[in-house]
Amino acid sequence: MQIGMACDHGGFELKEELKAYLRSIGHEPIDMGTFNEDSVDYPDYGVLVAEKISRGDMGRGILICGTGIGMSIVANKFRGVRAALANDLFSARFCREHTDANILVIGGRIVGRELAKEIVRVWVETPFVGGRHQRRLEKIETIEKKNFKS
């Protein structure tokens, strides 16, 4: 599976580690930056992945910033994006099972590398369960249609 990835300077090291990990478990990370640890503004990079998910050009993405909060806020401004901050395994599993999260957000200064790999593994392997959760996603789509002009 292709997975878009982007980060700010606070997530650069972890992004590099997770790119290699994704390849090792059979996925194709698409790196959209940043490409070093120089200070950048997280919205400039979060938008790159969120736009692709929103347009349907890509099915899933991973965003990393210092805490994960900023990237979560940016990504969830886009129609059809369900970005979930998951800095633990429970959240990684449930954001897929219950909300069909299409963007995983991780705090690069909060989560250690090995835990981050496990979070990513759980997130890519966990299916959406549907059922009553699908009804809830449909309600979110209704809210988006009402509040987004385009």
Q: What is the pTM of this model?
A: 0.95
Which of residues 148 and 105 earns the better pLDDT score? Answer: 105
84 forms bridges with which residues in the sheet? 104
Which residue is catalytic, options 7, 9, 95, 98? Answer: 98
Sequence spans of domains, the chain: 2-147
Mean pLDDT for the stretch of residues 26-37: 98
Within 13 A of 26's CA, how many CA atoms are on the CB side?
A: 3
Look up 95 and say whether it is catalytic.
no
Query: Is residue 98 annotated as part of the catalytic site, yes or no?
Result: yes
**CATH code given to domain 2-147:** 3.40.1400.10
Q: For residue 115, give both structure tokens.
A: 């835990």
Those residues with Cβ within 8 angstroms of residue 46's Cβ, 6 or more apart along the chain or in another chain: 6, 63, 65, 70, 71, 74, 75
